[in-house]
Amino acid sequence: MHSALSTRPFGVAETHGVLKLAGAEVGASSDGLNWRSLYVSAQTEAPFSGQFVAKDLLFVLFRTAADGRRLADGSSLHAPAGSVRVVPSGVPLDVDLKTSTDTVHLYLRRSVWEEVAMDMTDGEPGGIMPEPGWIASEPLLFALADAAVAAAHARCTDPSFSDHLARSMASHMLATHVGLRIKRRRTSSSGQALSREVARAVDFIEANADRSIGLQEIAGAAIRSPSHLARTFASEVGMPPHRYLIAVRVKRARQLLARTDAPIAEIVFECGFTHQEHLTRLFRRHFDTTPAAFRRALRS
């Protein structure tokens, strides 16, 4: 999913302001390159102290080790080479740097981070952010950051490249450090990805096939009207919702017959059929045999 949320250039004015300090020797940055989703800078930072706030997500990648302390409580900090400091959107960047260090500042727009999170989970999460803190080692993020820095060095003004990099960074960090997992995309009868409402309907049917459900309830789960869902579902899946429900039930019955010793009468109710004759009739229609004959044939 790509949206129009991130259309304005991401410039240095939207960062925490650390890069404007006199002690920062910036070697490369994406400022002025028309990048929309990502801001990157590579620099040597001299010792400084302060608290800074920005609305977008920041990863500080330490190419060389650094020592400092927390301003809030005075506790000491050591950042090994290869480590990453995570500063979520809106969280103050609290810094009292005691030694010079080489860093990469990597900003991801909050809107892009949230888009990727929604894509990964089919729209389920809201406002997911990483916890503020430190990551001891993150070689893949460093590799992606290297690609961004190289593009900045080359003065690449094509925003599509940085957009792809930003989404790759976000999906990796969400999966690795937030724990999101990519939801398997449902596909239609033609092999195309299902629309979101039809995917919701399919998920609902498969989760509730063991009980009586109707089009009204399925449409409610898909957040669509029954008539709209019926048309869209049939177009994408190749059958109306009630036929898909029957197919799910019959397939589950077949699996239970093959993999378990459960009595057929028990399978009837586990799969949402009203009585054994109901299962037998539909099973014969789908597989040209009865449940009992199917099980006997497997075991003979």
The CATH number given to whatever domain includes residue 149 is 2.60.120.280
What pLDDT score does 277 carry? Answer: 94
What pLDDT score does 4 carry? Answer: 39
| Domain end residue (candidates: 116, 146, 178) | 178
Determine which of 13-27, 73-87, 99-113, 195-209 has the lowest per-residue pLDDT on average: 13-27
Give the pLDDT mean for 260-266.
92
The DSSP symbol for 175 reads: I
Whole-model pTM: value is 0.61
Give the pLDDT mean for 115-121.
78
- Residue, of 185 and 298, whose pLDDT is higher: 298
> Which is nearest to 176 in space by CA: 127, 126, 139?
139
In the predicted structure, residue 296 carries a pLDDT above the cut 60: yes
Residues 6+ apart with CB under 8 A from 97: 45, 46, 47, 48, 49, 66, 67, 68
Give the model's confidence band at 124: pLDDT under 50 very low, under 70 low, under 90 confident, else very high: low
Give the model's confidence band at 2: pLDDT under 50 very low, under 70 low, under 90 confident, else very high: very low
For residue 194, what are the CA distances in angstroms to 78, 190, 218? 48, 10, 16
| Paired strand residues for 51 | 94
Q: Do 31 and 167 lie in a common domain?
A: yes
Q: Are 6 and 112 spatial neighbours (Cβ–Cβ below 8 Å)? A: yes
Q: What angle do CA 59, 48, 37 make, to 5 degrees?
A: 25
Q: How many domains does the chain have?
A: 2
Q: Do 143 and 37 lie in a common domain?
A: yes
Does 186 reside within a domain? no
| Paired strand residues for 57 | 108
Query: Where in the sequence is the domain holding 18, given as residue range(s)?
Result: 12-178
In the predicted structure, residue 115 carries a pLDDT above the cut 70: yes
Q: Do 243 and 108 lie in a common domain?
A: no
Q: Do 131 and 202 lie in a common domain?
A: no
Q: Do 158 and 24 lie in a common domain?
A: yes
Does 3 reside within a domain? no
> At 286, is the secondary structure helix, strand, or coil?
helix
What pLDDT score does 259 carry? Answer: 86
Q: Are 14 and 41 spatial neighbours (Cβ–Cβ below 8 Å)? A: no
What pLDDT score does 86 carry? Answer: 95
In the predicted structure, residue 178 carries a pLDDT above the cut 60: yes
Does 93 reside within a domain? yes
241-259 vs 196-208: helix crossing angle, rounded to 10 = 40
Give the pLDDT mean for 54-66.
94
Does 191 reside within a domain? no
Percent with pLDDT over 70 in the chain: 91
What pLDDT score does 22 carry? Answer: 67
CB atoms within 10 A of CB 215: 17
pLDDT, tens digit (0-9, with 9 covering 90-100), for 8-33: 899 999 998 887 776 789 999 999 99
In the predicted structure, residue 58 carries a pLDDT above the cut 90: yes
Q: Do 23 and 147 lie in a common domain?
A: yes
Give dist(CA 7, CA 145) in Å, integer: 21
What pLDDT score does 184 carry? Answer: 55
Does 103 reside within a domain? yes
Q: Do 163 and 255 lie in a common domain?
A: no
Determine which of 81-95, 122-136, 201-215 has the lowest per-residue pLDDT on average: 122-136
Q: Are 132 and 29 spatial neighbours (Cβ–Cβ below 8 Å)? A: no
Q: Are 81 and 63 spatial neighbours (Cβ–Cβ below 8 Å)? A: yes
